[in-house]
Amino acid sequence: MKKIKYITGLAAVLASALLLSGCEWDLLNPAGYVAHQERTLMYICVAVMLCVVIPVMIAIIVFAIKFRATNTQSEYLPDWGNSHRVEMIMWGIPICIIIVLASLTGYYTFKLEPSRVLSATVAGDQKPLQIDAVAMDWKWLFIYPEYGVATINEIYAPVNRQVFLQISSESSINAFWVPRLGTVLYAMPQMNAKLHLIADVEGVFKGMSANYSGDGFNEMRFMWHSVPQDKFNNWILQVKNAGKPLGRAEYLDLARHPKVGDVAAKKKDAQVRYFSNVEKDLYYRIVNRCVADGRICNERLMARDAASSLWGQLCSVFDADYKFDNTTSQDGA
């Protein structure tokens, strides 16, 4: 008996130690509007569903005890296999719960769609800070187009200002994720995904790639520093001063990745680095696969293809009449 008490006590201590470190549970400790909304939704839905799940679990135990074979006191109805009343309740309760959850889902899916700009009530009316994120093997390249700087594996952003992320990838499907700010979004080659986030508090939040992309995938961690505006401006200056230039040739160099099994090289490759003088249409070229010389940008290629056949006009997402902006240089016809 004493031993049982001892073990139970130890288990309780261990359990509370584990559970009480809840301040580190990023998903339940949001630092931004989007993550906050998502957490609220999780709480509501779990609570609603527990109303059914817990009674079922209890019923299993209670029925097992009450209607065990050795209990000859309880009623025994061997042929009772149908009851309209019970059936109606059985179908009715899940239907009601799902109606509630479905309405919540519909509303919040529209509201929290990543490509939607956060409303002025939430994010104020400052122009969003744009960051173009490129997932490479195996590091993140973050380009700040307004400032012409870029970093590897480091984000600084002013607190309380909406951040508009354009997300793409160089070679594999990755996913951009800062748990405390919300919403995983896939980073895919040839695609430009749009994500709007905002940080409500200052701090340093961990970020990572949330889709496996090879054996260096673990190194794709970065830190999102949510700082006041002046600190942010200082950081931009710091990057401008310390950074190396980033043109198309340098990008192609960056894109080369260490071989399978070379663990140390991957770790080194993912260290924080700064770039200044980022070439102006580099991100456009990355998304359109025309960084290397002699390649025609996808957009031009696909629009031309769309114009050249009925299938193209029916099925292509590209508008055959799209007029190209001649200020961005594009190779080929």
Residue number with CB closer to other proteins (211 or 226): 211
Residue number with CB closer to other proteins (173 or 236): 173
Residue number with CB closer to other proteins (6 or 91): 91
Q: How far apart are CA 124 and CA 181, in angstroms?
A: 17
Q: How far apart are CA 171 and CA 188, in angstroms?
A: 8
Least CB distance from residue 209 to other proteins, whole Å? Answer: 7
Contact range with other proteins by CB under 8 A, out of 121-129, 189-197, 239-247, 322-330: 189-197
State yes or no: residue 183 binds other proteins (CB under 8 A).
yes
Q: Report CA 295 to chain centroid distance, whole Å.
A: 31
DSSP state of 181: T
State yes or no: residue 63 binds other proteins (CB under 8 A).
yes
Contact range with other proteins by CB under 8 A, out of 102-110, 123-131, 239-247, 272-280: 102-110
Dihedral angle over CA of 302, 307, 309, 310, nearest 10: 110
Q: For the chain, what's the residue count?
A: 333
Q: How far apart are CA 143 and CA 282, in angstroms?
A: 9
State yes or no: residue 322 binds other proteins (CB under 8 A).
no
* Positions 138 through 167 that interact with other proteins (CB under 8 A): none
Q: Which of 80, 125, 230, 326 binds other proteins (CB under 8 A)?
A: 80
Q: How far apart are CA 155 and CA 256, in angstroms?
A: 22
| Whole-number CA gyration radius for the chain | 27
Contact range with other proteins by CB under 8 A, out of 62-70, 125-133, 232-240, 276-284: 62-70
State yes or no: residue 244 binds other proteins (CB under 8 A).
no
State yes or no: residue 309 binds other proteins (CB under 8 A).
yes
Contact range with other proteins by CB under 8 A, out of 42-50, 124-132, 142-150, 272-280: 42-50
Structure-token pair, residue 256:
């080369």
Q: Which of 128, 161, 289, 322 binds other proteins (CB under 8 A)?
A: 289
Name residues whose C-beta falls within 8 Å of residue 289's C-beta, 6 or more positions apart in sequence. Answer: 189, 190, 295, 297, 298
Least CB distance from residue 323 to other proteins, whole Å? Answer: 19
Residue number with CB closer to other proteins (30 or 158): 30
Q: How far apart are CA 185 and CA 169, in angstroms?
A: 12
State yes or no: residue 4 binds other proteins (CB under 8 A).
no
State yes or no: residue 311 binds other proteins (CB under 8 A).
yes
**In which residue are the tokens 């580190």 written?**
24
Name residues whose C-beta falls within 8 Å of residue 188's C-beta, 6 or more positions apart in sequence. Answer: 168, 169, 173, 174
Q: Which of 122, 145, 161, 215 binds other proteins (CB under 8 A)?
A: 215
